[in-house]
Structure 1
Amino acid sequence: MLRNIGLSLLIYFFKFIFMRKRLTSSGAAIFPLLFLSAVIFTACKKDSKSDPQPGNPDPVNNTAKSDEDSLKYLMYRTMQVSYVSGGRSTTTDLPSYYWYTQVPAIDPFSATYAKAEDLLSAMINKVSPTDRYSFLDRTGSLANKLQNGISQDAAPGEGGSYGMEVTYALDQSNKSHLMVLYTDKNGPASAADIQRGAEITAINGDANIAYDNGGPISQKVYAAIHSSKQVTLTVRKPKATATVTIPLTSTSFKINPILFDNVSNVGGRQVGYFSFYTFSSIYGDNDAPTNTKQVLDQLFAKFKAAGIQDLIVDLRYNGGGAVVTAEYLDNAIAPASAGGQVMYNFIYNNKLTANLSRTGLESVVKFDGTTGGLNLTRVFFITSGSTASASELTLQNLKPYMNVILVGDKTYGKPVGFIPFTLSIYKSGQEKYMGDLYAINFETKNARQEGGYFTGIDVNKQATDFVNVPWGDAQDEHLQQIYSYINTGAFKRDASTERVISNPDSRKVMSTALPSGSFNGMIDYRQRGGIR
């Protein structure tokens, strides 16, 4: 049943398994699951160059189909029939798609679907509005960004990223302004001293950039920020009156997901704070610790040394990422009583659930035996409608073990995630990469079996996001509410209207004005499952 594999692939597998052991910051061992079958069936496109073997029929390569038809066929079969052998297996019944039972039989070769994306939309629309998440990445850039922590908006080898996120915000007259939400410390924008709260007044000399409700102007702005290799921005920096012209060139860089951190004294208590914008993985595809792990290790060592008594985790713009990083945060934050207890549960479709031992899929993830040692009894999270997936997983996992308090706005609502599948075709014995499939494979629930938050998670106290307020500033309405709670045990009355009236420079974020250039979801790179 298993494909023949070369000696080099066997060596790769055993080296990967025996070198996979790693220690978290607390010193507890973790053994992420990645099995031989995963290497065989979903190996990275650069590692496998074998033709499918005769014992495993391959209709795609034995018929005169276009590359696009082949991609549609393999995508459909991976989701609906069996993911084994890249969707080619005819002897296994292991559909990977979580909601496969809701999708009727579809002919993937039908001319109705010109592209694989058209077929995917037709499939997930059968379970709509539940599945607003699944997608196909033809560039492979997402895996490089999230798993390896290398930022790039363009395809590999075609450029990088400016390392910034922008959106529109409203002034007291409801006039829109194009504002910088944040910049990665290691990106070109930050290197050019573009920071949160800066206003962009022109792009490449074009001042026609006012908000148009997702129309051609908004599309033009998005393309310039997220798809170009070079751009010239006219920027008014925070508290400045004059503008400056700043040329930027996109580059690839090591992501630093921590936008800002500090420790402050609030009512005699040491309070740690950090803003975290993406769950880039703590380990790369070469099994080496990433820059994300390094900066998180340093951050929690700093908090521990400071003896913080409260912690504020700012996830207002964090759409998620790798679940292994969510597990890191939960282990670092959780009280000692959580040690060795259930962190969260995976739920799969009925056929995968019936074959857990065969596939090597995890059903339960537990906290490390010894947690991070911060001795916290509560934690505050700042959230918004952009807080999704791995962010939601992180805070949900802590609820059974400590007081979790949310301030800001209701979260996005994504209690489901992906196990990525690489889809390839073979021509003249050579493998051709076609794309990475991210179709929902699992749901998660915490130790109390709480989940199902498809419409989002409610906050304990609402607060308004003003982008002109710097990170960690005591004037941030979220921090004002949290500081009030720390000092008095109660939140203060709403102050958003007063703020706009008293400060004409206030810029209220329009959270859905522009699509985010950041990933929205949660991915388990450890579980590229296959038959053992």
Structure 2
Amino acid sequence: MKKINYLIVFYLLVSITFLSCSDNNNNDPEPTPNPNEVTLENEINDFVWKGMNSWYNWLDNVSNLSDLKDDDKDDYYTYLNGYSSPENLFYNLCYNHISIVGEANAVDRDSWFIEDYVEQNKQFQGISLSFGFRLQAVRINDAGDVILYVRYVAPDSPADLAGIKRGDIISGIDGITLNANNYSSASANLLNETVTLSFIDEVDGELVYLEDKTITATEISEDPVYLKKVFNDINGEKVGYLVYNGFRSSYNDELNAAFEYFKNEGITELVLDLRLNGGGSVLTSAYLASMIYANAGTDNFAVLKFNSKHSNENGAYTFEDKLNVYNVDGEKTGEESINRLTTVNRLYVLTSGDTASASEMIINGLRPFIPVTLVGTETYGKNVGSITLYDSPNSDYTKQSTANTNHLVAMQPIAFQIYNKIGESDYSRGFKPDIEVVEYYYWNEILPFGDENEVVLKAALDDIRGLSGRMSLPKNAHDIALKDLSKLDQKFDKDMYINSDYFNK
């Protein structure tokens, strides 16, 4: 019994001692804040730096992306606070970005900052606020007159409903007659929601006014499979012709349906019109290649290489027998067997300066397997691709589902370079055409897509006929010059991207 009492006394003494110590700790003063400690002013800047430090393709070329940069928190925060906005920080972290150093000195022409990734994802699938046309500016004479001709009109778009069609000629915007001095500033009005266009005709060398049309942009969804057609007798060959304007995964099944049509028609030649196709989904590009050439089996179509931090992600896209079907939200909704052609042993591709990224991937990826003849003008030149980075540190910034809900900012940095089966990737400044045809020289006689006499298509068909030769130029060709309207392009018009499915393979 005494032992128990002793134990109780001992326990009480120990408890009192601990309680006394605890009370003393509670009475300690709070630590004095360091008046020199730097506070981060914008948490998004931290996301921008860390995402780029992980994934950027030219990581080793940017000293401010060194792993040592964030070792000292105060120095790191001071650096981040030195930028007026996350967007400004992003472009300054890019390696000689075109927006910082200009076209002539640019290495990175294609990384971009995303203010709202929900809207961006819609645009990736062809959903955007748009007039629904593509225009080309041309200086048509030494006097400096400038016109815009319509290259393309999306079905059921505001332009289409206004009766605008490919080949129409525009001389004025919102009452301003275009010339070499004002076309750039006047064309900026095309970024407004409503615009009035002045249409003309060219008659015996004179520009004749026709009418004005006012159109208002609306949200449209464009099917990139614009036109499929078969020419039944081109020197004894059945020639399939496809106008394909974007590698959008939500239209994989429509693309597959076009090749079902070609397969059922038994085509023996294929002309692929990519003049307006700036790229898109790498996976969809692999599906298209699989449709074109069945004899490739399941060989490698394209090989992706990431920076040294993500070399474990290096991998290949192969030719496939099945494709995934996606909805506009990028969710997989099913699978289909790919309609693969076994009767085509060469490919004609119609090209322009807007043929880029995933379109160039088709050219580069198929050349180890079949002859690919380019008709038109030099392509854009983009052998690198991007991924979307979200403020989601736990996923190494790749998952939208776990992104910071306080904002919708994301990034689309270049994250990989792409090669074909035999390691070729030397087209950063574009592919030169085998048969050069400059469409804008013929600005006053532009014909509809699929017309056998449309100048670029005709050159390809003539080559199939065995009639290759130099195209006859308009009399005033040397007075005609292309005018740049690239500022009107969507940022992603020439993108090549992979989604999170790649990392989950």
Sort the TM-score into its range (normalised by shorter chain).
Answer: 0.7 to 0.9
Query: Matches of 2:288 and 2:363 in 1, distance apart?
Result: 9
1:494–1:109 CA distance, 2 compared to 1 (3 A): farther
Matched, 1:254 2:221: yes
Task: Give deviations 1:193-221, integer Å, cap 9, x for gaps.
Answer: 212221223333x2243343xxx641442
Letter in 2 for 1:119: L
1:116, CA displacement in angstroms?
2.4
1:386, CA displacement in angstroms?
1.8
The aligned counterpart of 1:221 is 187
- Pairing 1:183-194 to 2, within 5 Å after superposition: 183-194=153-164
Query: Matches of 1:515 and 1:338 in 2, distance apart?
Result: 39
1:437, CA displacement in angstroms?
0.4
SS at match of 1:243: strand
Aligned match for 1:296, one of 250, 255, 273? 255
1:430–1:495 CA distance, 2 compared to 1 (3 A): closer
| Contact 1:307/1:374, CA 8 A, preserved across alignment | no
Matched, 1:231 2:195: yes
After the TM superposition, which of the residue ranges 299-308 and 508-517 deviates more from structure 2? 508-517
Query: Matches of 1:104 and 1:350 in 2, distance apart?
Result: 15
Matched, 1:462 2:441: no
Matched, 1:407 2:372: no
Query: Matches of 2:155 and 2:481 in 1, distance apart?
Result: 22
1:63, CA displacement in angstroms?
8.2
1:528, CA displacement in angstroms?
7.2
SS at match of 1:210: coil
Matched, 1:515 2:484: no
Letter in 1 for 2:187: V
1:184–1:103 CA distance, 2 compared to 1 (3 A): same
| Contact 2:146/2:183, CA 8 A, preserved across alignment | no
Aligned match for 2:320, one of 353, 359, 368? 368
1:442, CA displacement in angstroms?
0.6
Query: Matches of 2:85 and 2:379 in 1, distance apart?
Result: 32
Query: Matches of 1:511 and 1:448 in 2, distance apart?
Result: 37
1:136, CA displacement in angstroms?
0.3
Matched, 1:136 2:120: no
Letter in 1 for 2:270: L
- In the alignment of these two chains, the number of paired residues is 414
The aligned counterpart of 1:311 is 270
The aligned counterpart of 2:132 is 163
Aligned-residue CA RMSD (Å): 3.1
- Pairing 1:117-128 to 2, within 5 Å after superposition: 117-126=87-96
Aligned match for 1:201, one of 159, 166, 171? 171
Query: Matches of 1:422 and 1:166 in 2, distance apart?
Result: 33
1:510, CA displacement in angstroms?
1.6
SS at match of 1:274: strand
| Contact 1:186/1:255, CA 8 A, preserved across alignment | no
Gaps in structure 2 of 5+ consecutive residues: 1-36, 66-75, 98-104, 322-337, 394-402
Letter in 1 for 2:429: T
The aligned counterpart of 2:329 is none
1:388, CA displacement in angstroms?
0.9
Query: Over alpha carbons, which structure has the higher Rg?
Result: 2
1:494, CA displacement in angstroms?
3.4
1:424, CA displacement in angstroms?
7.4
SS at match of 1:312: strand
Task: Give deviations 1:96-147, integer Å, cap 9, x for gaps.
Answer: 111111111365753542222322232224586321211102133332111x
1:366–1:529 CA distance, 2 compared to 1 (3 A): closer
SS at match of 2:439: coil
- Tell me which of the two structures has the higher relative contact order, counting C-alpha pairs closer than 8 angstroms and 6 or more residues apart: 1
Gaps in structure 1 of 5+ consecutive residues: 1-61, 81-94, 153-159, 283-289
SS at match of 2:170: strand
After the TM superposition, which of the residue ranges 247-256 and 468-477 deviates more from structure 2? 468-477
Task: Give deviations 1:347-385, integer Å, cap 9, x for gaps.
Answer: 0111201xx2xxxx4601111147612520001011122
The aligned counterpart of 1:263 is 230
Give the structure with the larger helix fraction: 2
